[in-house]
Chain A
Amino acid sequence: MAKVQVLNVAVLDNPSPFGNPFQFEITFECMEDLPEDLEWKIIYVGSAESEEYDQVLDSVLVGPVPAGRHMFVFQADAPNTGLIPESDAVGVTVVLITCTYRGQEFIRIGYYVNNEYTDPELRENPPVKPDYTQLQRNILASNPRVTRFHINWEATMDKMEDSENVDPAPNTMLPPTSMPGKAPPLGLMPDNSMDCL
């Protein structure tokens, strides 16, 4: 069982012009005092085609985290437009919020993002070169997609036995690969596959 449960993410300043910073108000609960910080990241998927265009908009450490319920606002600058393929600028993409503890990702919250021109004229005849100043970003806040991963919450590896009951049934949607050198070699199974729809 994860020590940290995300209770809610409220998308602030949404919809907003493309250039506005992302703002997420994150509420989470922690079962016990965490000796180390949580690391949160906002990743903007520049193109559905390739992870190459992913941009980590920002990463932030959150701590200290004593047991209890906490909230904070994670603000990150808008993506660097220079890194977004022009063909992918307008339309639907994804923004991801991930959280890692001791270098292991245990939750991934994804939102669809729709980037559209507000001007009907532009919408009908979009310029070849995207005009980011005219684009509006709309995060589909009502439908977060949450994936939870099992990680080792302890510093020591004495919890190895916990993983022995992990059902190794492969989930086609989830081929999580362990991050070389960072994640411990155990329990990278999704916590709750029902959450992944």
Chain B
Amino acid sequence: MKLLKPSWVNHNGKPIFSVDIHPDGTKFATGGQGEDSGKVVIWNMAPVLREDDEKNENIPKLLCQMDNHLACVNCVRWSNNGLYLASGGDDKLVMVWKRAAFIGPSTVFGSSSKLANVEQWRCVTILRNHTGDVMDVAWSPHDVWLASCSVDNTIVIWNARKFPEIVMALKGHTGLVKGLTWDPVGKYIASQADDHSLKVWRTMDWQLETNITKPFSECGGTTHVLRLSWSPDGQYLVSAHAMNNSGPTAQIIERDGWKTNMDFVGHRKAVTVVKFNPKIFKKKQKNGSTPKPSCPYCCCAVGSKDRSLSVWLTSLKRPLVVIHDLFDKSIMDITWTLNGLGLLVCSMDGTVAFLDFSQDELGDPLNEEEKNAIHQNIYGKSLAITMESQLSTTIIENPEMLKYQQERQGNQNPNGAQGSGLENQTPKLTNVLNGESLEDIRKNLLKKQVETRTADGRRRITPLCIAQLDTGDFSPALFNSVPILPGSSASTQLTPQISSDSSTANSLGLRPSHDPTTTSPNKTAEENKDSGTAAVNSIGMKSNLLLTSASKIEPMKALDSRFTERSKATPGVSSVPLTIGITPLDRVKDSSSVKEPKGKDETSSDSEDKTMAKSLSMTKRKGEMEGAEVVEKRKKGRPRKDAKMMMPMSQPFTQTPVSAEKEPSRLITPVVVLKLPTPSIQKSFSTQVSTDAITYLEVENEVSVVSGARLSQLKWSREGREWDTLLPSRIIVATGSSDVVAVACEDRTLSVFTTCGRRLIPSIMLPAPMSALHCSGHFVMALMASATLSVWDVQKQTALVKNESLNPILSGTDATVSRSFLTQQGVAVVSLSNGKTYCFNSSLETWNLIADKQDSLVQCADFRSCVSSQDALGSTGPLALTQGRNLSAGRLASRLSSTPHHLQQGITLAFLENQLSSALILLSASEYRHWLLIYARFLVNEGHEQRLRELCQDLLGPVHKSSSSSWEPTVLGLRKRDLLMEVLPVIGQNLRFQRLFTEYQDQLELVRLK
């Protein structure tokens, strides 16, 4: 046996809590405390194994370090296939890491190259559920599950093929759970906790198999970890800290009857960690001696708080070796190499030790076949056999089905990170996002990116999401890449130079400034040749630049500090008074004076509170704002006791829901029940009513006074075209759509014009003053102060909703209308301050609840696994608008550890069906399709055959025509059979439904032929 303490494996003196050797034996991970966070480090194994490699400076020792954990890392574990690393820490998180598909090393952006990570490991999933420090994590055999245990007394089983899905939370421990181990056959998982118990759980139903307490009843004190271990043959489970005759032991528990008759004795303090060698051994056959059949045996390493390590063979009564004083502090973790001959131990003192055994010492390891044979003998079937057989016995009966199955397998490959994990992908240069290559996106990014103005006039850019975090790797080609330069010849010439240069960190020009004394002219010239002329754009400029920069040494030193110091300018207010865009407010002034010559000073007579003033500053530049809000001064002539504030209208629902969504309405006013506030009258205001063709409406009240008569002017402009019209009464609200313009006046009239300014209908006399007015398409919606709603189709000149009272939704609550809008299809939607949103269905003549922020169904539903990559970005439409794009669905789901799967399933099902019917009632076809596909995917994943069949039946309709059929061939303008065409491939992904698939595939074919 050889013993080595590689001093270079350290966390800068901080404790190392966990160590694990990669299954391929080329690297190992440590976890522990970092500088101010938890730290996971991946090290190269070669320098540990071979002295030559340790001395060779070209062989990296540290491969990657990750400081993503917010607090100390207690456990690191490689998956059995070696693709993933799981880490758990005091920050209550489990992180799953995967190696990014980079070829070769790469640097952190902007960092100097020498400290670069040689390998790139990225966090692909963060598993959140534990409410306390995560103490141990363990991958099940074949990486089907990942288990984590925590000081919150629970064990969580995660679906390792579908992170972050929780299979089960095992509850029963009444103390901190500090260790986990899987049965190598996959039938059980065992846990040890501070509650003086060791529990064995069945993986079949996740129920408790046995609870062992006797050997632990005397256990006192606290041990940081209790890492127990199961023998590779599955016959023995060895616990950490147990007591026998008031001496610390490691208890051996026999699988057969969970008997506790044996233990490893000898450590002077509590056993913190037990780790079985992954190999089963048999006696080394000596040359010449007769091969006598001997019982295979296992090997186990035991580490203790007494700082010593013992290694045992189950065939011997005494330990093979005991090493005392290996560390200054308690041993925290042990890991074996997969060949069974090497052993790494880590300690609280921040060091690790490596033990190297020979086969003479341990014996001949059995190969995998022999090991499987043992499993077969003892358990009938090994896990490997059962797993594969379940999948392979199903015969694919339908060629189409085979196609989808193959497609599915093909699809899994590019997203290797989320699936069960295949081999590392080679980076693909042409990444495609919604059918567009990344290069295309980059070329047009500036033009395409959505930019808006916030309420206080700031620019706001919606970044383009180029990769979901969980979908793993994205093209590394993008990063550290050269910019796509606009086609100027000079810049294209420069491109290769930059790229060749980017590897050399020190390019010319800067060198003199960093290190002026050592740079000889020769050397610089050489570097010029070598590194290219990145900083120089044209020929003959090199020397010049060098001169310039040399002469600029002093200022550049001064400049250097600017890279690192936060400047005073950063907080947003510059000390220079005239800089461009110093503060939002200044920007407002700028833009309003420049871009809005008509903008009058509306703030003058305002005596409202600060929020009012703020809102007004906003109105000044609302001309350039999408989805502008109209805020008006309070009407002085009509004081209302209850109305302490004005009720500004929320923005109209314009064509692009995206833009409307950007400005959440922030205005809620308390009102008397069933009395909606009315906007106050403003001298003048303007509003933008359309976004794709920028359309402004400007209103100026009391504009021309002809012998005492006052008129109000309405001005409309779109891309140079404009018209105006005059109205006899002061205008309260003006709004428009792509088709019509509607104006409500103080005299309770409503006027509707075409976009050419022609009056469509004579003034409509309203029963009450206008509270909110919206236009969409050729629909006009009016919400009156009497809490009644009307919607007209001005093209057909019909009323869709006639003076419908808001009583049903408002009564019994003290909620007020916080927002209202009209969809493109003319459905009126009203959001209340209590978070509920209703729409009025004119055929049912009912108010329908379509969104409820407090709805626990929404929060508990978990359908994320059913969202395909195409629709991962979410749907857009009225439903998404009311519910919020980033639907908080599922946020709570992962925290509901107590929720059994079937309940979760039910919740999700109910939620999805709600969504579907809401989209239907909102007449939002794209959203209906979006949710229908998610719903179908969910049914397929969860195996709800009845519902799936009903869905298919409805989409297919009767195959043979019959007069009695009331089946509608379309829904919301979508042909149902087209939808079925989309649903079928989803069904085809689950072999279980191949009969159903075939059935509907055939019928659909039949119908199409007719």
**Chain A contacts to B: CB under 8 angstroms:** 1, 5-15, 23, 25, 27-33, 37, 39, 41, 43, 45, 47-49, 51-75, 77, 79-80, 82-83, 88, 90-94, 96, 98, 100, 103, 105, 108-110, 112, 114, 116, 118, 120, 123, 136, 138, 140-147, 149-150, 159, 162-163, 165-167, 173-177, 179, 182, 187, 189-190, 192, 194-197
Contact = CB atoms under 8 A, between A and B. Distances in A.
7 contacts: A1-B69, A8-B480, A80-B580, A140-B535, A143-B507, A179-B570, A197-B112
Contacts of B501: 142
B110 A142 contact: no
Contact of B123 (A31, A189, A195): A31
Contact of A8 (B109, B509, B582): B109
Contact of B555 (A23, A67, A91): A91
Contact of B481 (A8, A94, A118): A8
A70 B467 CA distance: 7
Interface in B52-79: 67-71
A53 B461 contact: no
Contact of B565 (A1, A162, A176): A176
B68 to A, nearest CB: 5
B295 interface: no
Interface of B: 33-37, 67-71, 108-112, 115, 123, 126, 442, 445-446, 449, 454, 458-470, 474, 478-486, 490-491, 494, 498, 501-502, 505-507, 509-510, 513, 534-538, 540-541, 544-545, 548-549, 551-552, 554-556, 558-559, 561-572, 574-576, 578-582, 885-886
Given A141-B534, A196-B563, A146 B478 contact: no
B566 A105 contact: yes
A96 B555 contact: no
A144 B484 contact: no
Contacts of A69: 465-467, 469, 474
A128 B469 CA distance: 54
Nearest to A94: B559
B548 A8 contact: no
A166 B559 contact: no
Contacts of A14: 483, 485, 491
Contact of B483 (A25, A31, A68): A25
Contacts of A91: 548-549, 551-552, 555
A145 B563 contact: yes
A60 B491 contact: no
Given A31-B469, A69-B469, A71-B464, 10 more contacts: A5-B109, A10-B483, A41-B572, A53-B576, A55-B569, A72-B461, A123-B544, A138-B535, A144-B109, A145-B563
Contacts of B554: 48
Contact of B485 (A12, A39, A74): A12
A110 B560 CA distance: 9
A98 B572 CA distance: 11
Contact of B556 (A92, A173, A194): A92
Contacts, number: 298
A132 B580 CA distance: 18
A88 B564 CA distance: 21
Given A72-B445, A175-B565, A15 B555 contact: no
A92 B460 contact: no
Contact of A167 (B35, B481, B562): B35
B36 A166 contact: yes
Nearest to A9: B109
A55 B579 contact: yes
Contacts of B126: 31-32
B291 to A, nearest CB: 57
Nearest to A61: B460
B563 A143 contact: no
B466 A43 contact: no
B36 A51 contact: no
Q: Which of A68, A70, A93 has the most chain B CB atoms inside 10 A of its CB?
A: A68
B33 A8 contact: no
A95 to B, nearest CB: 10
A108 B474 contact: no
Contacts of B33: 165
Contacts of A41: 569-570, 572
Contact of A162 (B36, B454, B569): B36
Contacts of A8: 109, 478-481
A146 B507 contact: no
A188 B702 CA distance: 57
Given A25-B445, A63-B460, A93-B559, A144 B578 contact: no
A150 B578 contact: no
A11 B485 CA distance: 9
A196 B501 CA distance: 20
Contact of B37 (A1, A11, A54): A1
A48 B558 contact: yes
A7 B479 contact: yes
B562 A162 contact: no
A109 B108 CA distance: 13
Contacts of A123: 544
Contacts of B111: 146, 192, 194-195
A53 B112 CA distance: 29
A60 to B, nearest CB: 4
A74 B35 contact: no
A52 B567 contact: no
Given A7-B479, A57-B580, A73 B445 contact: yes
A145 to B, nearest CB: 4
B563 A31 contact: no
A63 B481 CA distance: 24
B468 A68 contact: yes
Contact of A6 (B109, B478, B569, B570): B109
Contact of A96 (B469, B562, B578): B562
Given A58-B581, A108-B563, A64 B462 contact: yes
A78 to B, nearest CB: 9
Nearest to A52: B575
B479 A194 contact: no
Nearest to A72: B463
Given A70-B465, A96-B563, A56 B37 contact: no
A83 B579 contact: yes
A41 B578 CA distance: 17
Contacts of B467: 68-69
Nearest to B561: A173
A3 to B, nearest CB: 9
Contacts of A140: 507, 509-510, 534-535
A45 B562 contact: yes
A58 B459 contact: yes
A176 to B, nearest CB: 5
A37 to B, nearest CB: 7
Nearest to B577: A83
B464 A56 contact: no
B115 A194 contact: yes
Contact of B564 (A47, A120, A196): A196
Contacts of B110: 6, 109, 144-146, 195
A83 B578 contact: yes
A173 B465 CA distance: 35
A70 B67 CA distance: 21
A43 B571 CA distance: 11
Contact of A62 (B461, B561, B562, B579): B461
A94 B566 contact: no
Contacts of A65: 463
B141 to A, nearest CB: 30
Contact of B886 (A5, A33, A103, A167): A33
B505 A114 contact: no
Given A83-B579, A94-B563, A116 B544 contact: yes
A1 B70 contact: yes
A42 to B, nearest CB: 10
B578 to A, nearest CB: 7
The 7 closest A-B pairs by CB, nearest first: A146-B110, A48-B555, A70-B463, A10-B483, A110-B563, A69-B467, A48-B558
Q: Which of A90, A103, A146 has the most chain B CB atoms inside 10 A of its CB?
A: A146
